[in-house]
Homo-oligomer: A and B are copies of this chain.
Amino acid sequence: MTSFTSPQATKPLDASELTYTYTTDPRDVPDEATAAKSKDTICTDHMIIARWKKDIGWSTPELKPYGPLSLLPTASCLHYAHECFEGLKAYRGDDGKLRLFRPDRNGVRLQMSAERISLPSPPAEELKKLILALLHVDGAKWLPKHRARDFLYIRPTIIGSNSQLGVQAPTEALLYIIVGYMPRLDMMEGGKRLLTSPQDMVRSWVGGFGYAKVGANYGPSVLATQDAASRGFHQVLWLYGAEGECTEAGGSNFFLVWRRKDRKKEMITAPLDDHLILDGITRRSCISLARERLGDELEITERKFTIGEVLEASNENRLLESFAAGTAWFISPISHIRHREHHIDIPMGQGDGPGEITGKMKGWLGDIMYGRTEHEWATIVSEKE
A interface residues, Cβ below 8 angstroms from B: 1-4, 39-41, 43, 47, 66-74, 76-83, 85, 115-118, 153, 155, 157, 159-160, 162-169, 171, 176, 178, 180, 182-183, 198-202, 205-209, 214-227, 230, 250-251
CB neighbours (8 Å) of A78 from chain B are 69, 77, 83, 157, 159, 215
Interface pair A1/B118, CB less than 8 Å apart: no
A218 and B167 in contact, given A1-B223, A157-B78 (Cβ under 8 angstroms): yes
User: Can you show 19 pairs from A to B with CB atoms below 8 A apart?
Assistant: A1-B201, A4-B223, A41-B166, A68-B72, A74-B180, A77-B77, A77-B78, A78-B83, A80-B215, A81-B217, A82-B222, A83-B219, A155-B165, A165-B180, A168-B222, A168-B225, A169-B226, A208-B220, A216-B220
Interface pair B1/A80, CB less than 8 Å apart: no
A200 and B205 in contact, given A69-B73, A164-B41, A226-B169 (Cβ under 8 angstroms): no
Partner of A165 from the list B116, B153, B162 (CB cut-off 8 Å) is: B153
CB neighbours (8 Å) of A201 from chain B are 1, 207
Chain A, interface SS category: loop
Q: What separation, in Å, do the CA atoms of A76 and B39 have in the docked complex?
A: 13
- Smallest CB separation, A112 vs chain B (Å): 12
CB neighbours (8 Å) of A82 from chain B are 219, 222
Copies of this chain:
2
Closest chain B residue, CB of each to CB of A213: B79
- Smallest CB separation, A17 vs chain B (Å): 21
Q: What separation, in Å, do the CA atoms of A370 and B262 have in the docked complex?
A: 74
Interface pair A167/B225, CB less than 8 Å apart: yes
- Smallest CB separation, A45 vs chain B (Å): 13
Q: What separation, in Å, do the CA atoms of A251 and B117 have in the docked complex?
A: 16
CB neighbours (8 Å) of A183 from chain B are 166
Q: Taking A69-B71, A79-B85 as given, write out 4 further A-B residue pairs in contact, using a Cβ cutoff of 8 Å, ordered by the A residue number.
A: A1-B200, A79-B157, A118-B222, A216-B219
Interface pair B202/A207, CB less than 8 Å apart: yes
Partner of A73 from the list B43, B165, B206 (CB cut-off 8 Å) is: B43
Interface pair A73/B66, CB less than 8 Å apart: yes
Interface pair B215/A209, CB less than 8 Å apart: no
Interface pair A222/B169, CB less than 8 Å apart: yes
CB neighbours (8 Å) of A85 from chain B are 79
Q: What separation, in Å, do the CA atoms of A167 and B1 have in the docked complex?
A: 30
Closest chain B residue, CB of each to CB of A218: B80
CB neighbours (8 Å) of A223 from chain B are 1-4, 115-118
Interface pair B73/A157, CB less than 8 Å apart: yes
Q: What separation, in Å, do the CA atoms of A129 and B50 have in the docked complex?
A: 40
Q: What separation, in Å, do the CA atoms of A1 and B202 have in the docked complex?
A: 13
- Smallest CB separation, A148 vs chain B (Å): 23
